[in-house]
Amino acid sequence: MRQWGTGVLAAGMSVVLTACAAGLAETDSIAAGQGELRIGVKGDQPSISAATDDGGFEGFDVDVAHYIAQSLGYGPEDVTLVEVASKEREQALLDRNEETGVDLVVASYSITPERKTRVAFGGPYYVAHQDILVAADDDSVADVHDLEGKTLCQEKGSNSANRITRERGIEVAEVVEAPSYGGCTAQLADGDVDAVSTDDLILAGYMARAPGKFRLVNAPFTDERYGVGVARDDRAGCEAVNTAITRMYQDDTAGKLLTKWFGATGLRVTESVPQFEGCA
């Protein structure tokens, strides 16, 4: 979080003393609702978070990010969205006070024990599941076990194939890697691979981009808890994010956003408040 200007020195000595006594916890926290709020988002995931032709971003994560920012007290003019790649998310939070850093990350960011050693997580704001995408006319796959002997595509560096082959012992014919899941779906459309498997929201996003070409199997076999990345020392900010997410489900904003972005895909979404990770 960046403060506008150099600070208001005329605010009064009592305010200064109070801030010092509190260790500046309020002004250091995103919960203060002051200054510029920089939020890291993805730029290459249709219906989740994708760059637009006008230089902006759109998708479910983008709308969630704006809802949380507003709940924290930031106006639209105070929010800057910054594109972050998957491998950049932790470092962007660690660099929070630098020009390249961000204050929050809302970027299909799965909560894992390893990541929690470096950053904190609000939420999850949604629990996605690994699922399978096949060609629209392929009725040979009903669940993950039907991938036996199939050619599978995954994004380079992804762990999705391992969850099928190593964790479940399913012998696929081949695992092909593409630079992105967009590349995988292009190969699926061309008939070069038999299936693509990753988070269901990601698969549904690519379905929405190419109506009629693909079928989502709707046979989930993992839980992917999408969290809001927060600086590890900002507990107040993390708790404020959890309050915002709870409100988002209670006022049905979450349900409306899920319908807006994924309703036409046939994805079975969950509209109840996820069990939070906790900010400790």
Summarised one tens digit per residue, pLDDT across range 242-268 is 999 999 999 999 999 999 999 989 898
> Is 68 in the same domain as 171?
no
pLDDT for the residue numbered 25: 39
Contact in structure between 21 and 14 (CB atoms under 8 Å): no
Residue 10 has pLDDT above 70, yes or no: no
Q: Does residue 75 lie within any of the structural domains?
A: yes
Question: Domains in the chain: how many in total?
Answer: 2
Q: Are 239 and 122 in the same domain?
A: yes
One domain for residues 68 and 177: no
Confidence at 24, pLDDT banded by 50, 70, 90: very low
The pLDDT score that the predictor gives to residue 87 is 86
Per-residue pLDDT band for 27 (boundaries 50, 70, 90) equals: low
Could you tell me if 134 and 122 lie in one domain? no
CB atoms within 10 A of CB 142: 11
pLDDT at 80: 96
Are 101 and 94 a contacting pair, CB within 8 Å?
A: yes
Question: Residues 172, 140: one domain?
Answer: yes
Q: In the listed set 159, 194, 216, which residue is the last one of a domain according to the structure?
A: 216
Considering the domain boundaries, does residue 280 fall inside one? no
Residue 8: inside a domain: no
Question: Do 38 and 124 sit in the same domain of this protein?
Answer: yes
d(C-alpha 41, C-alpha 147), whole Å: 32
Residues 180 and 88 in one domain: no
Of 191, 216, 241, which residue is a domain's last? 216
Question: Which residue range is the domain that position 181 belongs to?
Answer: 130-216
Assess if residue 146 is contained within a domain: yes
**Measured in whole angstroms, how far is the alpha carbon of residue 31 from the centre of its chain?**
20
Predicted local distance difference test score (pLDDT) of residue 157 = 82
Question: Residue 63, exposed/middle/buried by CB under 10 A (0-12, 13-18, 19+)?
Answer: buried
Residue 279 lies in a domain: no
- Whether 24 and 108 map to the same domain: the answer is yes
What are the DSSP E strand ranges found in the chain?
37-41, 44-45, 49-51, 57-58, 79-83, 104-110, 120-128, 130-135, 151-155, 174-178, 195-199, 214-216, 224-230
The two beta strands, 195-199 and 151-155, are parallel
Say what the pLDDT of residue 270 is: 87
One domain for residues 153 and 97: no
In a shared domain, residues 34 and 90: yes
Last residue of a domain, one of 175, 197, 216: 216
Is the pLDDT confidence value at 11 over 90? no
d(CA 106, CA 241): 11
CA–CA distance, 120 with 218 (Å, rounded to integer): 31
Confidence (pTM): 0.85
Domain-located, residue 176: yes
CATH of the domain at 46: 3.40.190.10
Q: Are residues 21 and 106 in the same domain?
A: yes
**Least trusted range by pLDDT, from 21-30, 32-41, 107-116:** 21-30
**Confidence band (pLDDT; 50, 70, 90) for 13?**
very low
Q: Give pLDDT tens digits for 94-140.
A: 999 888 899 999 999 999 999 999 999 999 999 999 999 999 999 99
The total number of residues shown for the chain amounts to 280
Q: How many helices (H) and strands (E) in the chain?
A: 9, 13
Q: Examine the pLDDT at 179 and tell me if it is beyond 60.
A: yes
User: Is 115 a member of any domain?
Assistant: yes
Measured between alpha carbons, how far is residue 8 from residues 16, 74, 97, 143, 254 in Å?
10, 19, 19, 60, 38
Does any domain span residue 80? yes
One domain, residues 28 and 123: yes
What is the reported pLDDT for 229?
Answer: 97
Is residue 61 classed exposed, middle or buried when 0-12, 13-18 and 19+ CB atoms within 10 A define those classes?
buried
